[in-house]
Amino acid sequence: MRKISLALQRAERCSYKGCFMKIKALKMNELVFIEVLDNLAVVEDQDVARERRRLRANIFNPLELSDFQFIQMFRLNKDLFDYLKNMIEPYMRPQLRNTDLSISTRIYTALRFYATGSYQMDIGHNQYIGVSQPSVSRSVGEVTDAINTPEVFNRWIKFPRNLEELNACRLRFFQKFNFPGVIGCIDCTHVAIFPPNIEHPQYPEYVYINRKGFHSINVQIITDADMRIININARYPGTDHKDYYLLGDSGYPLRSYLMTPIEQEPIPNTPEHRYNLAHRTTRSIIERVNGVLKMRFRCLTKHRSLHYAPEVACRIINACALLHNLCIEFNIPVPEDEEVDEIDLIIGDEHNLVDEDNIRRINPDLAEGRLARRRLIQHF
């Protein structure tokens, strides 16, 4: 009876066109009341949807922002936004109903998350987006997945694949830094994540705790001479060509294809000293890339911490790397935010593992690396 009474009260209050009913409680059976409840639910759902569309229509159009404001908010300019939309739209769900978020709104929402790393509720309340928290979550996931599709990702994150590309990359490093043979600089950067599931069968929570005591993903990046990311989250790429090198710091093992600095500071004005100076100057570009990447996309900074499972966090990192390359290609300035001051952890130390006399027998890879470095030092 209480249910019937509530139904009567709701029906009598209802003023929607075509839905006003005069109900006599003593004469109507329970089936009629159930039908009344169903009709009211439909009307209320339609009214909520209508109100949502009205509110969304009152939200400011991001395209009305100035170019400076647009870049500050979304990290891309308007032309680059159009390019990104055209590139990933085929891999996103189309807008089927008027109540669905448009593809543009979904992309704006994801870009705002990448740019700020703010909690999703804050993004949903933004006057230029104005969507619910679940919609923010779905938008970030959908856009991230679209950017990570091989057809999109491999177009913008790619290591030199043939001699022509290798030679072009090597020439660019030589023109900018006067360092022969280099095709990329390699380094790692830590991206903080929320503590993952402690009972994961393959990657339990404790394996993500770094030496600084917080949970993170150790992201390895290789950059070219123009700060484009050409490889991310991959093993050292091997090569059969002895004239091409990567540059890494002393945290990496010396290899025939991976040149590290001489650990003991050489005597000034010697070839070894000039090699170390050139190595330090050239390799600094990867440190600038790591800094710019986190300055553009604050979701990657330590103080934001990606609140996602590690596999999802990796896709978000990949998406930000691709967007970074797009910003380089379109000459997008770095936002004038506070600088990122994070010390990344090195992945290990060589520490003269063996004596020179025994090195070839025990560690032939290191021996080949030292021979390659000696040959390279002759150029200085």
Report CA dihedral (230, 235, 236, 240) to the nearest 10 degrees.
Answer: -100
The pLDDT assigned to 247 comes to 94
Q: How far apart are CA 349 and CA 326, in angstroms?
A: 34
The pLDDT assigned to 239 comes to 39
Contact present, 236 and 246 (Cβ < 8 Å): yes
Q: Please work out, in degrees rounded to the nearest 5, the angle formed at the alpha carbon of residue 155 by the alpha carbons of 149 and 158.
A: 105
Buried b (16+ CB within 10 A) or exposed e, 226-242: ebbbbbbeeebbebeee
β-strands 258-259, 229-232 pairing = unpaired
User: What's the sign of the alpha-carbon dihedral 84, 86, 91, 95?
Assistant: positive
Contact present, 129 and 116 (Cβ < 8 Å): no
Contact present, 191 and 313 (Cβ < 8 Å): yes
Q: How far apart are CA 109 and CA 98, in angstroms?
A: 18
pTM: 0.77
The domain segmentation of the chain, as residue ranges, is 67-153, 158-337+364-379
The pLDDT assigned to 275 comes to 93
The pLDDT assigned to 240 comes to 40
- How deeply is 376 buried, as exposed, middle or buried, from its count of CB atoms within 10 A (0-12, 13-18, 19+)? buried
Backbone angles phi, psi at 207, to 5 degrees: -70, -15
The pLDDT assigned to 35 comes to 56
Contact present, 320 and 144 (Cβ < 8 Å): no
β-strands 216-223, 182-192 pairing = antiparallel
Beta strands in the chain (DSSP E): 182-192, 216-223, 229-232, 245-247, 258-259
The pLDDT assigned to 310 comes to 87
The pLDDT assigned to 371 comes to 87
Q: Which residues pair with 277 in a beta bridge?
A: none
- How deeply is 257 buried, as exposed, middle or buried, from its count of CB atoms within 10 A (0-12, 13-18, 19+)? buried
The pLDDT assigned to 141 comes to 95
β-strands 258-259, 245-247 pairing = parallel
Look at residue 35 and give its three-state secondary structure: helix
The pLDDT assigned to 354 comes to 37
The pLDDT assigned to 36 comes to 44
- Count CB neighbours of 201 within 10 A: 6
The pLDDT assigned to 303 comes to 83
The pLDDT assigned to 344 comes to 52
User: pLDDT truncated to tens, each residue of the chain (380 aa)?
Assistant: 454 455 445 544 544 444 444 444 434 455 444 454 455 444 455 555 555 555 555 456 888 889 999 999 999 999 999 999 999 999 999 877 776 789 999 999 999 999 998 765 455 445 555 667 788 889 999 999 999 999 999 999 999 989 999 999 999 999 999 999 999 999 988 898 888 876 766 677 788 888 888 888 889 999 999 999 999 973 333 334 456 889 999 889 899 889 999 988 888 999 999 999 999 999 999 999 999 999 999 999 988 888 888 889 999 999 999 999 999 999 999 877 555 555 454 433 333 333 444 444 557 888 888 888 888 888 88
Q: How far is CA 306 from CA 138, 149, 203, 362, in A?
A: 15, 21, 17, 42
Q: How far apart are CA 65 and CA 76, in angstroms?
A: 12
The pLDDT assigned to 236 comes to 31
Q: What is the tally of helices (H) and strands (E) in the chain?
A: 13, 5
Give the tokens for residue 345.
């952890």
